[in-house]
A = this chain, B = another copy of it.
Amino acid sequence: MSGTIWSVDEHLDDILAAVRPLEPIELQLPEAQGCVLVEDVMVAVSLPPFDNSSMDGYAVRVSDVEGASEEFPAVLTVVGDVAAGADGLADGRSVAPGEAARIMTGAPLPAGAEAVVPVEWTDGGTGGGPATAMRAHSDAPEGASGEVRVHRPVKARAHVRAKGSDVRTGDLALRAGTVLGPAQIGLLAAIGRPSVKVRPRPRVVVLSTGSELAQPGEELSGGQIYDSNSFALTAAARDAGAIAYRVPAVADDAESLRATIEDQLIRADILVTTGGVSVGAYDVVKEALSSVGERPAQETGDGDDGPAGGVDFRRLAMQPGKPQGFGTIGPDHTPLLALPGNPVSSYVSFELFVRPAIRTLMGLEDVHRPRVRAALDVQEPLSSPSGKRQFLRGRYDAEAGTVTPVGGPGSHLVAALAQADALIVLPEDMTSAAPGTPAEVILLR
């Protein structure tokens, strides 16, 4: 633990300077959801790939229906069906003068035809009045033959979607850096891409430490509390976009902690520990990983390849969350963030430091939660420690433009945390905040 006090921003900058976006991999579309594209994706096949009908109706030659009306319909010979998926009329037949082909939405315009007349502008081949629909092909295959009466003229290309009218071969479909949501996944599928090169979701291993920790559902013995950090932070890591693994609480023993961390390195793009980072005699995270600790690095190897070494433990000018550790460990220099053990401290630390690190690994440009300003909704002035940035839990009211603190400043108030949807930031130089003071608010949802 160096004597220097780090500011929140210095600690965050140090983390973000060390964390690099993950190496891209090729992923199938469903797996790529939520990931950042690292290639400019060009269109290999025009959309639509061929002129096709935008309606269910009849493909005709324009001159054949000129001047047609309900009273004086154009009577055309139906020479067949063009269903979606068919490559024009059967046997490569064309639509000749006086002829029409029954055509379905999305089906290619057959050779010879110049436009499509919607079925509602015809008698649907029934010989009766205007049709509202075609009869199902399976029930009435004869609909693909006989005569159709057309009640309206159409212009050339009417109800025809032109080849390439959406995108053309060689166009840029999606730029590198795009986050792949449902519409982007849909576009990639539409242009025939089964997979794309993206940065994968980071794998986050969350590991809580403390001999006092029992698992939920177990009976508590004297001095024990339930492990909540590993559950909360695993959920928060998933929320941030990561694949999160929760490791059941590790007791306060430096050797087993080192062994557990070495075991976990293989599936971790980033490691998060909670607890054991303060000034106590049993703060084993610090003991096991500190680069400036009393245990020499060579005890576990060359100091660069083992989990020892590389993690710097600091005091931050913030409340809660004063003691923090950050560094890289193992052969791949995996980033490790050692958070304090109090549930509120660890959660706030996660939001401030781990979430931006995860989103940096993902290659996202915007790694931070949105921030707004809101008036403090309090009855009495809030006091805040001088020289520390304080993060209070609050509820934000967007309409009123206010934020109301929930619970007290105590870092163990996990019940109040569950009611909060925002963090209220009181800066280092503020020692008192009067009712109505405009405060910076970090939105958590």
Residues of A within 8 A of B (CB): 1, 3, 29-30, 33, 45, 47-50, 54, 56, 81, 83-88, 102, 104-108, 119-120, 132-140, 143-144, 161, 165-167, 171, 173-174, 181-195, 210-218, 220-236, 238-239, 246, 251-252, 254, 278-284, 287, 293-295, 341-343, 347, 410, 412-418, 420, 444-445
Contact = CB atoms under 8 A, between A and B. Distances in A.
Contact of A143 (B134, B211, B281): B281
Nearest to A231: B189
20 contacts: A1-B132, A33-B238, A48-B412, A83-B281, A85-B223, A104-B280, A105-B278, A161-B412, A166-B410, A166-B412, A181-B445, A182-B232, A183-B347, A186-B414, A187-B415, A188-B231, A189-B228, A189-B230, A190-B343, A192-B217
Copies in the complex: 2
Given A83-B252, A235-B185, A414 B166 contact: yes
Given A166-B415, A190-B414, A414-B166, A183 B282 contact: no
A216 B29 contact: yes
Nearest to A226: B192
B165 A412 contact: yes
Given A3-B132, A105-B341, A281-B56, A186 B229 contact: yes
Nearest to A313: B133
A85 B216 contact: no
B187 A414 contact: yes
A134 B279 CA distance: 6
Contacts of A251: 85
A210 B414 CA distance: 53
A134 B417 contact: no
Given A49-B220, A132-B279, 4 more contacts: A84-B252, A85-B224, A107-B223, A119-B280
Nearest to A239: B182
A413 B165 CA distance: 8
A132 B292 CA distance: 15
B137 A282 contact: yes
Given A1-B133, A85-B210, A212-B107, A220 B45 contact: yes
A108 B143 CA distance: 86
B119 A414 contact: no
Nearest to A223: B87
Contact of A226 (B56, B189, B222, B246): B189
A143 B281 CA distance: 8
Contact of A161 (B86, B104, B410, B420): B410
A281 B211 contact: no
A104 B282 contact: yes
Contacts of A185: 231-232, 235
A444 B84 CA distance: 31
A216 to B, nearest CB: 4
Contacts of A223: 50, 84-88, 107-108
A-B residue pairs, 5 tightest by C-beta: A186-B232, A87-B222, A194-B217, A85-B211, A85-B212
A226 B226 CA distance: 52
A212 B106 contact: yes
Contacts of A228: 186-187, 189-190
B84 A210 contact: yes
A85 to B, nearest CB: 3
Contacts of A182: 232-233, 235-236, 239, 347
Given A210-B84, A216-B194, A222-B87, A235 B186 contact: yes
Contact of A183 (B119, B232, B246, B287): B232
A324 B34 CA distance: 29
Nearest to A179: B445
